[in-house]
Chains A and B, each alone.
Chain A
């Protein structure tokens, strides 16, 4: 509908109703018309989507300004005239508007707020109604979170919000965290994790201590206008987590319990016995020929892992076992999660308390995770002008992990140990198979014998006090602490340390965080003008303690605590701290509910930088226009809501070391004449007093559209984010004595589009909602270093390049174009080092007829072209069904272990089945022949994998027993039964493993995997929720 049509409608409206008053200005018209219209009593009833009556719904006649609420039967009576608009609003439900056409009794159905636009949204240091927000903020409500059985908050968030990429940074290990990225990668060398604020307390470290069922809402501040209020820490976005508060009048107990069984989603394909033996004989024969050894001698040479063949392989292959080591360290593992909470209010005191116990066994033997958490949120107003409260949480978790993600750990070894190794072999006691690499230890022994126990305790308490000396003026102080302790007990027994004696260590990390913030806010509501003013001051400090003790010289493997060791290998203890002082202010204004303006300013001072450069200013401005509230739009039947937004702001990233500007001295000791240790020092780099935070400026345009009574909602954001003064470990000439120096140099741009699409496809007996989000982000490096020369970073043999005009950390290696099929191919293409038929063809990029370092090229990026999430929910009376899919497309993953693949000293991946064997039997044309040559360790795109995937993350079936029947039966209010399946299916190119690159994942060298990713689990959960 275009502007002309809208104008015509309006014209018609005036003509019909007001006749000769046509030429008066519209405002006068409206007033006159209101006075002259005849009033009638309109009656009606308000119910929710399940047909249950709603009590206390606000009903407002927009035209007259009169209002009422629904009574205990959910009914109301209100005075109105024909043509008036009624507005129905209720906490947690969508606001609905209705035009009075006649005096018929009305029946209103309000929809829950999960799929609506106008709800209360937590923004930094306060809340706003979403209709008043003019920046880019996404929200997840408790319903989104409670519907699933995830044990961690970050798991529950994955795929649900546009622009947020969550990756299992540690594979599927129980209790392990996910990495979170908001709108791509801003920082090249610093953390790209957003700031996480729990109930107003910015926390550091893992958020695993939070029990997802305690959460009321999660808001993500994506653009600088919303995040600028967090200043020097806001550039990677801010995630605000708000926990539940007591609401109900009567005390309400909720109990929920889930029990699930987890099984491995997919196995890495490896060779079985016969395939392995064939491969091993072929590889060793070829390798011997390559090294100039007579292949006929291989069966008679003494056993080794390279150029000898066990005669039994040929004469009696059946005598070897055919072990599937992955199966042997896997299990079907139970997971059990129980939660009891009590909430309610007593006078002005609102309370919410919960206890939670999670017990998860991992699908890899020897791994598990238990968490006990307790939370108590209290808030009350003993005096009219005074509110007091506290959010208190304490959590304790323990977990065992037989270093599953270590590149010499059990997961790696379950892939690499050959099937022909006997069950007890490849340990100190069990002996080693001499034709097999001894470093490939028995994975079953690893999971059974390694001790690696991690214990985490965390207590956060933030009491607050709030005065309201004058109406609508609030003075609030919150002073809290965050005390954590993480300890790690590790013991590597002699038996799996290849007889070198046992080694044990103990790590202890303690943290002590303190926060005090004071805010003053003032709320002004005149008829058309709404103003919200905020000013504040905050001081936050963090002190971290670390100690580490390692001993060896254990007499045996029996006593595994460090007292049994006789040699101290290492004993260290250190402390670091940081402080942050901030002043901030914000002004929110709205006029007629149509025009919105928010501006904020923050000034931060950080101890991490030198005196001369530690203070910075972070301004922001955003404007919005609720177009749907304009007169010319109110009648629009098609567009039910429309908001346009634009914002601009500045944020920072201060994720550097605590004393980053100064050059710390390394301790480099020597030995004196009497064998005593002499303490020595050397510089570890240049100091840089100009060092300061990275600054990100984000320009964001967005609109929110509701179509057909908000049955279709669409939010689109387009943003350009420029990060300047990158905190970059710039490579510097090694002749200075150092390889790199931390400087504020360089510029990165992220541009992208985010789309959130919500539709109510069916409304009635069956309610079907679809939520879809997709985000496209393009990352471009704009400036680098003093000379602008590219940064080539390497990780083992492989390298990546970060250069101007391209995205951060692209893989930079040889490109391959298949296999030398025969001698004629070999004559056709240039070769690298020594190559023969069956080897990889490297592409001669510069066409100089030879393969040299200069032929390295861009062979892929770890940054996805887009990420998406799709949820479908069906409600049929008491039955609900939902499924949730997410995925990413267009990125690559580097398996650095491929430099070691293809050697028969252990097992190999099943892609080797498609290897080149001879010109007549050339395989798939991508996999080279079996031989150990320089080709194996030459970095090329042969080591890359497609990291695109689609994962059905969650399927859930729920049944709610209606409370009427139930309360008669047992006094229970709600009983909900659910069946969910997590990770039902995955479509990918990487053995159903996570595509994260769990071994190493930094901005410059992203997505690196080392055959050591803890496999993902598919989980079947049964859950029960009771409220009484």
Chain B
């Protein structure tokens, strides 16, 4: 029976290892115990900037819902943006759901930083800077949401699942108010530094963004007439002397000028890691031979419309055409293609590969989100509205034209100047995802795009007959779940 006792003891000892069930993840952090230290906040903030890399460059919706919608580019029906080009999308289009879910995911990252930063033990100035950065990024995200979907729910702090079912859609005005208030708070309280750290938000970027938001508010559909507030903000930025109007268009996108003075805020990328920029590879044709363009292209590239290749850049002496379009290239079958140009902004500088690249979609080059030229041109728009076109406004326009190698425009009236600005912005910012939003805010989209669809063969004109297509439908999956339409 002694053996029996021993066995009994053996069994009993085995019963005592219940603490073995308390396993914590070995290779991942969890949310319990996060957002507590200042390091955590910095890590969470890096997660917010990561969101900008995605939302503005690497995610397909960044260009599918913007540039693909415009008259600059065209896509085959095989891709989601083929529907956007033809105005034939419905709420089932998966890119819409991806955009919706991702943008709110990114907003949630910002919300958590804003929510928890107050509880952190750190210097007040650091806390303000972190809060300012998170608010700045969130403003960019809501600015996209409201321009893409129009009326959307506003979420400005962490939300429980149950509460989320109760949040209604807000009006366009309400969403813009949140953006305006957040940016105003940054600007008024100096929550961002005046020193410019590459890839991080600064006070000038916040002012410029607020100015741009006010210009949008002053356009379709709100027409709030906030031109003068916008003008003051732009004057602040221009007058700071921190920024530079490059005299050579091509230099703006050059790798060697990364972080240089004509960029208020750029999203940083680095090659050789998972932090590369996909913009250059994505815009190159899938068929291009890698000997002609390093690592080749992708099937997602947008096709350049004849409109922009031939009509908008009629003069070969528009330097911007040279800089933005590759007219001749070699395909994998060894043929030289000359009738299907592709966008080479950021990709090539002086006909050379623009900066380090370690693989397809893995480029070092940063993506400039707020360009000094944009600030100047929006300023000119504000001046045109407030003071008429023939002073500083026309000077700015002609400065931009001169840089492109074009003749200056003569004095004109307000309305013509608006159209000139529209045309000039199209050339200046082509393929930078500005065109569609510009057309909507000026309420010119219906006229311009119908004419464009007519030129595209005319078979899709009937898809775009009223302003309901200025905004994309709320994704069906959202409607199915919450009833929001």
Contacts and interface: CB of A to CB of B under 8 A. Distances in A.
B251 interface: no
A432 B337 CA distance: 14
Interface in B1-40: 1, 3-4, 7, 10-11, 14-15, 17-18, 20-32, 34, 40
A605 interface: yes
B155 A469 contact: no
Interface stretch (B117-125, B266-274, B398-406, B420-428): B266-274
B290 A431 contact: no
Given A576-B26, A734-B478, A853-B476, A432 B109 contact: no
B359 A937 contact: no
A569 B164 CA distance: 38
A107 interface: no
Nearest to B8: A475
Nearest to A799: B92
A293 B460 CA distance: 13
**Most-contacted residue by chain A among B30, B162, B360 (CB, 10 A):** B30
B390 to A, nearest CB: 42
Contacts of B155: 735-736
Interface residues of B, number: 108
Nearest to B459: A292
Interface stretch (A630-638, A664-672, A754-762, A816-824): A664-672
B159 interface: yes
B167 interface: yes
B477 interface: yes
B189 interface: no
Given A576-B25, A606-B21, A738-B105, A670 B359 contact: no
B28 A664 contact: yes
Given A662-B31, A675-B270, A677-B275, A577 B26 contact: yes
A572 to B, nearest CB: 9
A731 B30 CA distance: 21
Contact of A852 (B29, B90, B165): B90
Contacts of A11: none
B112 interface: yes
A290 B456 CA distance: 11
Contacts of A567: 272, 358-359
Interface stretch (B47-55, B308-316, B435-443): B47-55
B434 to A, nearest CB: 24
A553 B295 CA distance: 10
B100 interface: yes
A681 B34 contact: yes
A570 B274 contact: yes
A302 interface: yes
A306 B3 CA distance: 83
A433 to B, nearest CB: 7
**Most-contacted residue by chain B among A573, A575, A735, A741 (CB, 10 A):** A735
B483 to A, nearest CB: 9
A578 to B, nearest CB: 7
Interface in A605-660: 605-607, 611, 614, 658-659
A475 B7 contact: yes
A733 B77 contact: no
A680 B44 contact: yes
A934 B80 CA distance: 10
A741 B481 CA distance: 14
Contacts of B90: 852-853
Contacts of A439: 286, 299
Contact of A671 (B23, B101, B268, B360): B268
Contacts of B50: 668-670, 680, 682
B28 A665 contact: yes
Interface residues of A, number: 101
B27 A499 contact: no
B11 A434 contact: no
B256 interface: no
B46 A669 contact: yes
**Most-contacted residue by chain B among A574, A683, A900 (CB, 10 A):** A683
Contact of A499 (B78, B289, B478): B289
A25 to B, nearest CB: 45
B358 A552 contact: yes
Contacts of B259: 673
A539 interface: yes
B164 A732 contact: yes
B76 interface: yes
A541 B107 CA distance: 39
Contacts of A741: 161
A539 B3 CA distance: 23
B482 interface: yes
B179 to A, nearest CB: 16
A681 B44 contact: yes
The DSSP consensus for interface residues of chain B is loop
Contacts of A678: 46
A266 interface: no
Contact of B49 (A292, A680, A794): A680
A24 interface: no
A274 interface: no
Contact of B47 (A680, A789, A794): A680
B30 A733 contact: no
Interface in B38-92: 40, 43-51, 53, 76-78, 83, 88, 90-92
B161 A736 contact: yes
B3 A680 contact: no
A934 B30 contact: no
Contacts of A737: 104-105, 107-109, 111, 158-159
A223 to B, nearest CB: 28
B93 to A, nearest CB: 9
Given A434-B331, A607-B21, A853 B92 contact: yes
Given A438-B286, A669-B274, A290 B18 contact: no
A400 to B, nearest CB: 26
Contacts of A900: 78
A434 B287 CA distance: 9
A581 B21 contact: yes
B244 to A, nearest CB: 19
Interface stretch (B193-201, B212-220, B224-232, B381-389): B193-201
A833 B460 CA distance: 10
A607 B199 contact: no
A118 interface: no
Nearest to A577: B23
A436 to B, nearest CB: 9
B132 interface: no
A568 B270 CA distance: 13
Contact of A292 (B26, B358, B456): B456
A49 interface: no
B412 interface: no
A856 to B, nearest CB: 8
A686 interface: yes
A797 interface: yes
A671 B460 CA distance: 43
Contacts of A428: 290, 332
A933 interface: yes
B291 interface: yes
Interface string B372-411: 0000000000000000000000000000000000000000
Nearest to B160: A736
B23 A607 contact: yes
A659 B320 CA distance: 54
15 contacts: A431-B332, A467-B3, A537-B14, A576-B25, A581-B18, A611-B21, A663-B31, A681-B29, A681-B43, A681-B46, A733-B167, A735-B104, A736-B161, A934-B88, A937-B78
Interface of B: 1, 3-4, 7, 10-11, 14-15, 17-18, 20-32, 34, 40, 43-51, 53, 76-78, 83, 88, 90-92, 94, 97, 100-101, 104-105, 107-109, 111-112, 153, 155, 158-162, 164-165, 167, 197-200, 259, 268-270, 272-275, 286-287, 289-291, 295-296, 299, 331-335, 337, 339-340, 358-360, 362, 364, 456-460, 476-478, 480-482
Which 4 pairs from chain A and chain B are nearest by CB?
A292-B457, A737-B108, A680-B46, A574-B27
